[in-house]
Homo-oligomer: A and B are copies of this chain.
Amino acid sequence: MGNSFGQLFRVTTFGESHGPGIGAVIDGCPPRLPLSAEEIQAELARRRPGQSEITTPRVESDTVEILSGVYQGLTLGTPIALLVRNHDHNPKAYEAMRDKFRPSHADFCYQVKYGIRNHEGGGRSSARETIGRVAAGAIAAKILRLGDGTEIRAYVESIQGISMETPPEFPTREAIEANAVRCPDPATAARMIARIEEIRDQGDSVGGVICCRVRSASPGLGEPVFDRLDADLAKAMLSLPASKGFELGSGFAGTLLKGSSHNDAFVVRDGAVHTATNRSGGVQGGISNGEEIYFRVAFKPTATIKLLQRTVDAQGRETSLTGQGRHDPCVLPRAVPIVEAMAALVLLDHRLRDKAQNHTFNF
C-alpha cells in the first residue's frame, strides 16, 4: 500500500533498485496528448546518475519504454505503463548491507515493518524509485504547459550554509541547467560546487534547500479542507527520499512577522485582482489565487558516507560500517527534476479535480 499518488491523474510506481526494473503506471491521462518516449527520456536524463562531477559516478542508461496507453504518438486515455530496466548491478558492493543497518537509511525500518527486505542498493527505498515519478511528472508537466501555460521551475537555493538570494526574476530552465548544482546564480553555484567537492573528498555529505516556483497555474486549484493545494504539495515533497521539511510562501520566517506586515493586500493590476505582496506563496485557504506559487523543501545530508559509523547488525549486535558503492555527496542537484515532477503531479491532479466539480454544469 502507499505506492499510488493522485486521485484523477493517478501514478503508481513500482520497482526495487536492483530488481529487474523500475516503472510507473499512470491512470487518468487525458486522451489525444502527443507523447513520445523521447520526451520522457529527456527528463530522466536530468535525474540520471553520472551526469556531472558532483553526482554519483554510477552510469545508468535508464532507457524508458512505453508499454501501453500510447498509439501512433497519441495517448489513448488508457493506462500508460512505463518501464526502465535496471543495469549496472554489482551485488557484491552491497554485501555488507545484508547484515548491517546503514545509519539514517530505511534498512532497519523496512526490516521491522516487513520482516524482509531487498538489501541491495536500498531496494524499494532507493532513490531509483523516483525514476517513475520523473517519468510521470514529465507527462503531467507537458499537459499543464500545453493546457494552461503553466511553468514549473525548481532550483537549488542553498547548500549547507551557502545560500542565494531569491532572484527577482522567474529563472529560465537554461539558467538552472547551466551548472552542475542547478542553482541559477552562477556565482553562488560555483561556491556550492566547491563545497560539495570539498565534502565529497572528505568522504562526507551535505544537504540543502530546493526552492520551487510555479507561474501561470490556474487559480482555484486545491480542495479544502484536507486536500488543500499546499497540503498535497507538502505531502508530495515529504514523500521524497531525504526530505525533512516543507514551507510555502513566508513559511517559518513568516512566524516572526506581525499580521499587519504579513498580510497580502489585494490590489487591482492590469484590470485584474492581484496581491500587492505574495507572502501567501500563491495559495490562500488551500486554494491557488493566481499569483506565483513558491515553496521550499529541506533535504538532509546524504545518509551514505565513506566514513566509519557505529551501527547494529541483523542479530542485534553493535558493529560498525563504512559506506560502500557510489553515491551522491549531495542529493540536491538530481532532486531538482524530482521536485518539479512531484509539483506537476499535484498541480495536474488538482486541475482535473477542479474541472470535475466546478466546470460541469450551468444551472
Contacts and interface: CB of A to CB of B under 8 A. Distances in A.
A302 B255 CA distance: 10
Contacts of A129: 225
Nearest to A323: B259
Interface string A5-20: 1011010111110011
B78 A227 contact: no
Chain A binding surface SS class: mixed
Contact of A305 (B147, B234, B263): B263
A231 interface: yes
A326 interface: no
Nearest to A207: B255
Interface in A24-43: 25, 27-34
Nearest to A8: B356
Interface string A319-363: 000000000000000000000000000000001111111111111
Interface residues of A, number: 164
Contact of A259 (B206, B224, B285): B206
A265 interface: yes
B34 A312 contact: no
A68 interface: yes
Copy count, this protein chain: 4
A230 interface: yes
Interface stretch (A47-55, A97-105, A166-174, A178-186): A97-105
A287 B252 contact: no
B354 A113 contact: yes
Interface in A101-149: 101, 103-110, 112-118, 123-125, 129, 143, 146-147
Given A3-B79, A14-B25, A34 B363 contact: yes
Contacts of A158: 255
B118 A289 contact: no
A151 interface: no
Given A252-B245, A265-B103, A32 B114 contact: yes
A68 B14 contact: yes
17 contacts: A1-B353, A14-B79, A20-B66, A20-B67, A104-B259, A109-B286, A113-B222, A113-B358, A160-B257, A205-B260, A232-B235, A234-B246, A245-B248, A247-B252, A252-B252, A265-B311, A279-B300
Given A1-B28, A106-B284, A260-B305, 12 more contacts: A12-B12, A12-B25, A20-B66, A83-B83, A113-B222, A124-B225, A146-B363, A160-B258, A207-B255, A245-B252, A257-B300, A265-B310
